Structure 1
Amino acid sequence: MLALLGLCTILLLLAVILSKRLSPLVALIVIPVAAALVGGFGLDTGRFVLAGIQNLAGVVGMFVFAILFFGIVSDAGLLDPIIDRILATVGTRPSRIVPGTTLLALLIHLDGSGAVTFLITIPAMLPLYDRVGIDRRILACAASLAAGVNFLPWTGPMIRASAALKLPIPEIFAPLVAVQAVGLAFIFAVSYWLGRREERRLARAPRAAPEAGAAAGTGAASPAGTGAPLPAGTGARTLTEAERALRRPDRFWLNLALTVAVLGTMVLMAEKVPPALMFMLGTALALMINYPSVDAQRQRVDAHAKAAILMASILLAAGVFTGIMQGTGMLKAMAQGAVAFVPPGMATHIPFVLGLVSMPLSLLFDPDSFYFGVLPVVAEVAHQLGVPPLQVAQGALLGQMTTGFPVSPLTPATFLVCGLTGIDLADHQKFTAPLLFAASVVMTFACVALGVFPL
């Protein structure tokens, strides 16, 4: 009975989220509470909910203050010298421009927001791509590769995996550092290959007016594409008056030291110092250093509060779902029923197989329905067969809404990429999805080679 009730709960949750009949926030609260009441748990439902929310308190705190911290130091101009240096260094050779785009997107994605990464990277690089005549699909691909492989402790998928399986983020992330390094090496190699291929194409293409390539966005050649010098300031960015008013260039080194201290402490001393505390202290110090007045501090918090509150509310709602699913025993009953269908000899390969299919699953499941609906069941099945849930979480993070999110029609960021570059969704998916999938596969095999997953 419990297994059937749990299965119906999850299927209904997936159905209403994927069909957009309910928002994830509403679905994660209403459906499990209704299921618990139908199952006869009555007032015990409140106890299950409270336990689920309490388990997520540290994760929610870390995520909220991570968004605020990175937003504040970005407003102060921490990334400006890096962006300007990259634009000045790449010159007019595609074999430098494309890896430079990947590096820029990688650095901007330190805040964990794919939307912010694309909003900064693409407008900054697009004039250069059009002037040189580089195919705009490559710009979309380079930014997507960087954002997809850069799964950090404060990014959405990592936090969802931790919340859904009640696992400490450092335990999930630490073994994946070397794996992520392999993934980063792969995407830079791909970026260089794309740039070299574009250089050869431009060398063979007939000369065309720069305006034609820029207007069409098809990668038509321009004089710069064949090595002609670009006019000065081609890659220069223009800040708005409001952005310039927020910049604090005289405090760049202070902000850099603060960022290094926060991230270094979080990575190296995660077991002794809670990540939420580090981001709280970092946010407070960033506000004091850059915006000492109370009004300015309130404005900076207000500017980034929407994104923080939205994600925090979804995570707390997920605590309702996971608390009820575990407290009622529905999750365990479902897993016990599913164990009979998995050959014992294949159990150890569950994380590896999940790693291989996790990127394509991004096209079928949005992050909330996968991490809070599908992943707990898979992890419980694996656990009952002797496979640590930790490895299941790591397998999912190799692709599900990490490498998969920039091409998934289920995330707004995908449409943002297409809109900013002016390319069709189908063209973006056909060009970029195979390379993102390849990155996911490479990292999955790296997990085996580095001992994260068993053979």
Structure 2
Amino acid sequence: MSYQAAVGFVMMIVIVVLLLRKKVSTMFCFAVIPIIAAILIGSSVKQIGSYVTKGLGMTTSVALIMLFSLPYFMLMADAGLFNGIVRRILKHIKINPPVLAVLTVVVAMITGLDVSITSVFLITVPLLLPFYNKLKMNPVILVFLTTLGIINTYDVPWSARMLRSASLIPNVPNGPMYLFLKLLPAQAVFTVIILALAAFLGVKESRRLKAAGESVADAGKIDVDDVKDDPELGRGKLFWVNVILTLLVIAALCFMPAIPSYYVFAVGLVIALNINYKDLKLQNKLLKKYASSLFPVMPAILLSGVVVGIMQYSGMMKAMVDTLLNIIPKSFGPFVYIIVAAFSVPLMFLFTNDTWYYVMIPIIGTLMKAYGIPMDVVILTLFLNMGAMLTPIAQPQIYIGTDLTNGAVDLSKYVKFSMSKIWILSIIWLVIGLAMGVFR
């Protein structure tokens, strides 16, 4: 192993350990530790400046997308767009165990469009828990299916996960939308499987209740008044206007790739603000509110370019990959990324989201180039790290989901129920992607 490779591996280990132990912030890890590593391998100040400049150039555009996309969807959530969609779905549905189970996934997917895992749990669990209790269904199913709805919205182009991933392919125009469209066919199949699993769990609950002598009559209809908009910010009368505006934004992202995605979201945000909240003081108040949600994720995405830039342009990454090529048996080499994907669920107990996307994927991606596997294929294969929704190290919001059940579900009960199912779903996802050619 060369000195450069040794420094690179130590740097990655230090970053992972510090983030797992929560000793320092992600921003500190990405901004400071790579600089120390560059100094240790003998890089000059001028060289380090060049590495950093090139690295930040890789991540600037995706950071700008987050700057405008996250406030746009948070604004739509405040205006009541997602609540309005949920109300229209619930209005005429009678609730029984299979319907309620499927509905849980659907509501979680809709509320997850603003890419806030916290809000998905805060809306879905309290809304549907009374019906789980009324039907005497196991509430752990509610938390589990809400989690599946969250996983199924991981890949919307404005999510932090997608923006992290797109920063690794800076030469691909409109990277987040490119990755999203690549994943879409496989995701369509996967969505059907998730809904089928939800229906199966609902039917299984019905049979369990019947065997226990419990009544499984319909719980009736959900009172749509339970889905309430913010009294100050809700704009129910503008629901269809906001739907049309959002569809136009998404259409522009899909069909006008020449226009930078961040500019599309910037224009959408400006129009949405002026349509829904004409008062400039209120607009400024909302923008300040949304700004707090941009930190520390957006700076971390931007500063991740420092890690990649230093590793790539200093030769550190090449040295690390050469070392791995000498260790890995040649027969296994072309399949390393698939093997990692197959074990991604238990591996996520050793990673945070940042270290998965900024440490694991770049190393595996660079390694696979030696076998002719493009970086985008590696990203697509390793993207849906479902195991993150099993560990509070990667996703601390899980505690919110379990706490909202009023003590009926704790973390250990949730993990015990969900672990095998999510791992099986992860393998199914991998098989779908390979069969459809997305991961090859």
TM-score range, shorter chain: over 0.9
Q: Deviations over 1:415-439 (max 9, x none)?
A: 1111112311111011122222222
**Residue 420 (1) aligns with residue 423 (2):** no
Work out whether residues 94 and 218 of structure 2, in 8 Å CA contact, stay in contact via their aligned partners in 1. no
**RMSD of the TM alignment (CA)?**
1.9
Q: Spell out the pairing of 1:5-404 with structure 2 (5 A cutoff).
A: 5-43=7-45, 44-150=47-153, 151-166=155-170, 168-207=175-214, 225-227=215-217, 230=220, 236-237=225-226, 239=228, 243-269=230-256, 271-398=257-384, 400=385, 403-404=386-387
Output the amino acid matched with 1:73: M
Work out whether residues 102 and 145 of structure 1, in 8 Å CA contact, stay in contact via their aligned partners in 2. yes
Q: Deviations over 1:183-223 (max 9, x none)?
A: 1111100000011111122223345xxxxxxxxxxxxxxxx
Q: Secondary structure at the match of 1:260?
A: helix
Q: Note closer, same or farther for the CA distance 1:109–1:346 as it changes in structure 2 (3 Å cut).
A: same
TM superposition shift of 1:169: 2.5
TM superposition shift of 1:236: 4.3
Residue 391 (structure 2) aligns with:
408
Work out whether residues 68 and 283 of structure 1, in 8 Å CA contact, stay in contact via their aligned partners in 2. yes
CA distance in structure 2 between the aligned counterparts of 1:83 and 1:65, rounded to whole angstroms: 25
Q: Secondary structure at the match of 2:119?
A: helix
77-86 or 305-314, which deviates more: 77-86
Work out whether residues 165 and 376 of structure 1, in 8 Å CA contact, stay in contact via their aligned partners in 2. no
Q: Secondary structure at the match of 2:31?
A: helix
Q: Secondary structure at the match of 1:265?
A: helix
**Residue 2 (1) aligns with residue 4 (2):** yes
26-35 or 195-204, which deviates more: 195-204
Work out whether residues 87 and 227 of structure 2, in 8 Å CA contact, stay in contact via their aligned partners in 1. no
CA distance in structure 2 between the aligned counterparts of 1:382 and 1:281, rounded to whole angstroms: 39
Output the amino acid matched with 2:160: G
Ranges of 4+ aligned residues in structure 1 off by more than 6 Å: none
Work out whether residues 28 and 321 of structure 1, in 8 Å CA contact, stay in contact via their aligned partners in 2. yes
Q: Note closer, same or farther for the CA distance 1:105–1:37 as it changes in structure 2 (3 Å cut).
A: same
TM superposition shift of 1:148: 0.9
Q: Note closer, same or farther for the CA distance 1:174–1:440 as it changes in structure 2 (3 Å cut).
A: same
TM superposition shift of 1:273: 2.1
User: What TM-score does the superposition give when structure 2 sets the normalisation length?
Assistant: 0.93
Output the amino acid matched with 2:113: L
CA distance in structure 2 between the aligned counterparts of 1:294 and 1:309, rounded to whole angstroms: 23
Work out whether residues 131 and 219 of structure 2, in 8 Å CA contact, stay in contact via their aligned partners in 1. no
Q: Deviations over 1:125-152 (max 9, x none)?
A: 1122222222110110111011112222
Output the amino acid matched with 1:103: V
Output the amino acid matched with 2:97: P
CA distance in structure 1 between the aligned counterparts of 2:334 and 2:181, rounded to whole angstroms: 21
Q: Deviations over 1:205-253 (max 9, x none)?
A: 345xxxxxxxxxxxxxxxxx531655x765641637xx12211111111
- Note the residue ranges of structure 1 that are not aligned, 5 or more in a row: 208-224
Q: Note closer, same or farther for the CA distance 1:198–1:181 as it changes in structure 2 (3 Å cut).
A: same
Q: Deviations over 1:355-410 (max 9, x none)?
A: 21223222210011121122211111111222111111111113x2xx22221221
CA distance in structure 2 between the aligned counterparts of 1:149 and 1:27, rounded to whole angstroms: 29
CA distance in structure 2 between the aligned counterparts of 1:229 and 1:414, rounded to whole angstroms: 27
User: What TM-score does the superposition give when structure 1 sets the normalisation length?
Assistant: 0.90
The number of equivalent residue pairs is: 430
TM superposition shift of 1:90: 3.7
Residue 213 (structure 1) aligns with:
none
TM superposition shift of 1:299: 1.5
Work out whether residues 83 and 227 of structure 2, in 8 Å CA contact, stay in contact via their aligned partners in 1. no
Q: Deviations over 1:13-46 (max 9, x none)?
A: 1111112221211111111111112222131212
Work out whether residues 405 and 413 of structure 1, in 8 Å CA contact, stay in contact via their aligned partners in 2. no
- Note the residue ranges of structure 2 that are not aligned, 5 or more in a row: none
CA distance in structure 2 between the aligned counterparts of 1:329 and 1:388, rounded to whole angstroms: 19
Q: Note closer, same or farther for the CA distance 1:10–1:229 as it changes in structure 2 (3 Å cut).
A: closer
CA distance in structure 1 between the aligned counterparts of 2:184 and 2:329, rounded to whole angstroms: 31
TM superposition shift of 1:47: 2.0
CA distance in structure 2 between the aligned counterparts of 1:309 and 1:61, rounded to whole angstroms: 13
CA distance in structure 1 between the aligned counterparts of 2:285 and 2:326, rounded to whole angstroms: 56
